[in-house]
Amino acid sequence: MSAAIRNIAVIDIGKTHAKLIVVDGETGEEIASRKIANRVLSGPPYPHYDIETLWNFMIEGLAAFHAQPGYQAISITTHGASAVLLNATGELALPVLDYEHSYPDDIQRAYAALRPPFAETFSPALSMGLNVGAQLHYQKMAFADAFGSVTDILTYPQYWAYRLTGVKANESTSLGCHTDLWQPGKATFSSLPETLGIADLFPPVRSAFDALGPVLPEIAGRIGIAGDMPVYCGLHDSNASLLPHLMVRKGPFSVVSTGTWVICFGVGAPLEKLDPARDTLVNVDAFGKPVPSARFMGGREFEMLTAGLTPLTQSELNAARQSVLAGNILYLPNAVEGSGPFPGRKGRWLHEPRSDAERYVAASFYAAMMTATCLDLVGHAETTIVEGPFGGNVHFTQALAGITGGHVLVTDGNSPSGTALGAALLATRHAPRQSYHPSQPLEGISEYYRTWRELTQRPV
């Protein structure tokens, strides 16, 4: 770690919330944080992120944290499936599109006919705007005049780096995140930019570890920081979660990164096993290497299945386990349609929960079974690391351990969040030792899971 950099201010924009976190680069601890909702504006011209509210949140937070606890560098991590279109003056040529917006059928059909094959991009055909290539095609077709003014296309973390430094860049963890724009095995663009006629609009691809430059003088003045404050290029949030483990472990191992999305990484797993029809893909890690992955919208689904529940004690939840298992109170995919390993299925309860405790436990088991399925699809290893919000859910982690039969290690509660730590490591390049605890396998989950698997394998 550079002697001059002890604390790092991390801009962390997730799909649901945006956070500003100060990470102690020596210990990896989060020593200050604040967050706001990541609001989507309905339009016009389409649903889009409230960019200026996010920007003001960042500037105000950076100013507040400069005084206490202080920081010596800025790094960035954001959700994937987003690109930013700039015009000649460096302003937005079009609003930053919400990837959950669906396009007209004719535009979807036209894009399906021209997107590259899975063998080239290892990027599956996804719904809505989850393929960034589909977003760019939609914007070009539906808003031709505005798109004609585009001079630069930036991946999302690098847009915020540009706002801070004035330096335009792209980066491979975001380009390699099911965009259709990248060839992970070759570390270069796919054929799609040429097909869309936009190949000359992408600024250079930089390493996530690059310091793009100091904060612009006018921005540094607003924040109250020195003019030589470095801003690091940044990376995709799930790959930020993966980075701390890559720096201290050798494969094969699996990492389950949980949040709005549950992303299962198979470090050291073969690419050939992937099934594009089941939302498997290849991510690109911070070092530019391909990592087989599978995912589903687990955090969003869990919120939907547990919405409106009354506060529950751990004893109530523990008591509900046996009734859930014995009564086959289970949920079949999908609560969120259009992604995950069971496409085309509409979620339903086999047997409805009879209490809030049963609903919470059954939703936890559902998330664990979906995660186990994703791990199977990428060829999970003997050791699986769970980090993020689901790591604090013992019903999830113990069910996962019981289903997989492997070693499930959970990052301890006092460990930093994977996204913030991973982004901080871009500046320090020094991974603090993380602490884990093993999750005990839940007895009786195997038969429950077998029933669920049989039901999910039946024709829709």
What token pair was written down for 422? 């991973």
Do both 226 and 356 map to the same domain? no
Output the CA–CA distances (angstroms, integers) from residue 164 to 60, 345, 390, in the order listed.
13, 43, 33
Does 245 share its domain with 214? no
Domain boundary among 170, 200, 233: 233
Task: Determine, yes or no, domain membership for 136.
Answer: yes
Nearest to 249 by CA among 381, 427, 77: 381
Residues 133, 262 within the same domain: no
Asked if residue 417 and residue 325 are part of one domain, the reply reads: yes
In a domain, 374, yes or no: yes
Looking at the structure, do residues 244 and 105 belong to the same domain, yes or no?
A: no
> How many CB atoms neighbour CB 386 within 10 A?
27
Cross-strand pairs, 153? 85
Statement to judge: residues 398 and 451 lie in one domain: yes
Amino acid (one-letter) located at 371? T
CA 96 to chain centre: 17
Same structural domain, 107 and 137: yes
Cα 444 from Cα 42, distance rounded (Å): 46
Identify the pLDDT of residue 416.
Answer: 53
User: In whole angstroms, what is the distance from residue 399 CA to residue 384 CA?
Assistant: 13
pLDDT score recorded for residue 369? 98
Same domain, 354 and 296: yes
User: Comparing C-alpha atoms, which of 171, 417, 381, 167 is closest to residue 286?
Assistant: 171
In order of 204, 315, 324, 402, 449, the CA distances from 444 in angstroms are: 53, 18, 11, 8, 9
CB proximity list for 186: less than 8 A, separation 6 or greater: none
In a domain, 363, yes or no: yes
Output Rg (C-alpha) for the chain, integer angstroms.
22
For residue 187, the Cα-to-chain-centroid distance in whole angstroms is 20
Q: Last residue of a domain, which of 199, 233, 267?
A: 233
Q: What is the CA 249 to chain-centroid distance, rounded?
A: 21
Q: Residue 205 in 3-state DSSP?
A: strand
Residues 95 and 118 in one domain: yes
Reduce the DSSP state of residue 76 to 3 states and report it: strand
Task: List Cβ neighbours of 289 (8 Å cut-off, separation of 6 or more).
Answer: none
Strand order in the sheet with 262-267: 280-284, 290-296, 262-267, 253-258, 383-387, 407-411, 436-438
Last residue of a domain, one of 233, 251, 266: 233
271 found inside a domain: yes
Q: Is residue 305 part of a domain?
A: yes
Give the tokens for residue 331.
Answer: 């949920």
Q: Is residue 2 part of a domain?
A: no
Q: Same domain, yes or no, for 197 and 261?
A: no
Please name which of 8, 160, 1 lies closest in space to residue 72, comparing C-alpha atoms: 8
> Are 398 and 364 in contact, with CB atoms under 8 Å apart?
no
Query: Per the structure block, which two tokens stand in for 315?
Result: 């004893």
pLDDT score, position 413: 59
Strands 348-349 and 48-49, bridge-based pairing:
unpaired
The phi, psi pair for 75, rounded to 5°, reads -130, 165
Spans in the chain with pLDDT lower than 70:
1-3, 413-417
Q: Does one domain contain both 215 and 323?
A: no
* Dist. CA 335–CA 44, nearest whole Å: 28
Residue 1 covered by a domain: no
**CB contact at 8 A, 403 and 453:** no
Q: Are 416 and 28 in contact (CB under 8 A)?
A: yes
Q: Which residue has the tokens 């201290």?
A: 248
The number of distinct structural domains making up the chain is: 2
In a domain, 335, yes or no: yes
pLDDT digits (tens, 9 = 90+) for 341-385: 998 899 999 999 999 999 999 999 999 999 999 999 998 789 999
- The whole-number pLDDT of residue 415 equals 53
Cβ proximity of 244 and 422 under 8 Å: yes
Give burial (CB, 10 Å; 0-12/13-18/19+) of 68. exposed
The CATH number covering residue 100 comes to 3.30.420.40
Provide the whole-model pTM.
Answer: 0.88
Q: Tell me how far apart the alpha carbons of residues 80 and 15 are, in angstroms, rounded to a whole number.
A: 9
Residue in the structure block whose two tokens are 């669906």? 102
Query: Are residues 220 and 294 both part of a single domain?
Result: no
What domain range is 78 assigned to?
A: 7-233
Output DSSP code: residue 248.
Answer: T
